[in-house]
Amino acid sequence: MKWERNRGILNNVLESVGLTPMIRLNKVVNQGGPEILVKMEFTNPSGSLKDRVVYRIVDEAEKQGLLKPGMILMEGTTGNTGIATCMVGAVKGYHVIIVMPEGMSEERKKTIQAYGAELILTPGAETDVDLVLEEVARQKAKFGDQVFEIGQFVRPENADSHYLNTGPEIWEQTSGQVDVFIMCQGTGGTVTGTARYLREKNPDIKILVSEPKESPILAEGKIGQHKVQGIADGLIPEILDLELIDGIIQIASDEALHMARKLARQEGIFCGISSGCNVAAAIKAAQLFPRARQIVTMVNDNGLRYLSTELCGPPQQRQGLEREYAISSEDQARLKARDFLIIE
């Protein structure tokens, strides 16, 4: 990895994507157990790990002639991928249209608009991404071949960005001492790409996924409303490789919120709620695998994206719609083929 790149002058902000720091947690963890390390993905230029994904997808689309000057970048998102799309679009000169649930944080909405993108809101919150994707389909039909959809839930470049970069960075930063990797599941790209690389380097590494206890789609095949913005979107994405996953760690929304606050107050890491979910899961994993040398997880984004949420204020009502949620028959079949270790 070219860690020395930041010593010089970069040509544009996209060249600063990736090569994020790794930090050892000292105060929120139990002493005497495995080291718990967090990869600081909010140091990416738009503030989340999704910069890796969007940059890779757009770059490959341009090389293949699928994306040309004058076209529109479009994406359905719960926030971070949309913001990353706005940043990449701004640098490359594309008009951007973002479709997002109305229940996401005000900071996400304002950040998207600050980049000059067009924002379309749909009903609901995290678990209502199906409605977002329906609106994306309507917008694509309206604009026709003028649109290039980022397609984070289906494009293999999502996972490739982590296989080619995130995984190797983790392996190099830990000198190959990582025994457990933990990541929450949104699109599944980070889990799939990073796990694939790390397992090639160490077939015995444990790969665990954290998910909100209120919406245990992988653990129990159930969808519910929760407060962890950006994950557990109410579907099992095509690019999520279930064969790579050893176990699921369930973390209640309030537990994730509590850990995110602790990280700010005790470690100086002001992060989002999904990062609290990851670290809470890593602490549980340390109890389950006490002989592990290092446990690695991700700080996905910055707490500044959550100032108007319960992370920084009083308890709030969940923003999801009052409707029946059920996973598809295809997703049910995928889950039946796997027997995960479930950790509560």
Residues forming the active site: 50, 274
Give residues with Cβ within 8 angstroms of 339, minimum separation 6.
none
CA angle, corner 85, sides to 79 and 90, nearest 5?
Answer: 130
Give residues with Cβ within 8 angstroms of 209, minimum separation 6.
182, 183, 184, 185, 191, 218, 245, 247, 248, 249
Give residues with Cβ within 8 angstroms of 105, minimum separation 6.
79, 229, 305, 306, 307, 308, 309
Q: Look-up: residue for tokens 């990736």?
A: 18
On whether the CB atoms of residues 300 and 42 are closer than 8 A, the answer is: yes
Specify the amino acid at residue 58: V
User: Rg (Cα) of the chain, in Å, rounded?
Assistant: 19
- Residue of 138, 151, 136, 154 whose CA lies nearest to 192: 154
What is the Cα–Cα distance from 183 to 190, expressed in whole angstroms?
7
Give residues with Cβ within 8 angstroms of 228, minimum separation 6.
126, 184, 212, 251, 253, 256, 273, 274, 277
Give residues with Cβ within 8 angstroms of 144, minimum separation 6.
none
What is the Cα–Cα distance from 298 to 162, expressed in whole angstroms?
12
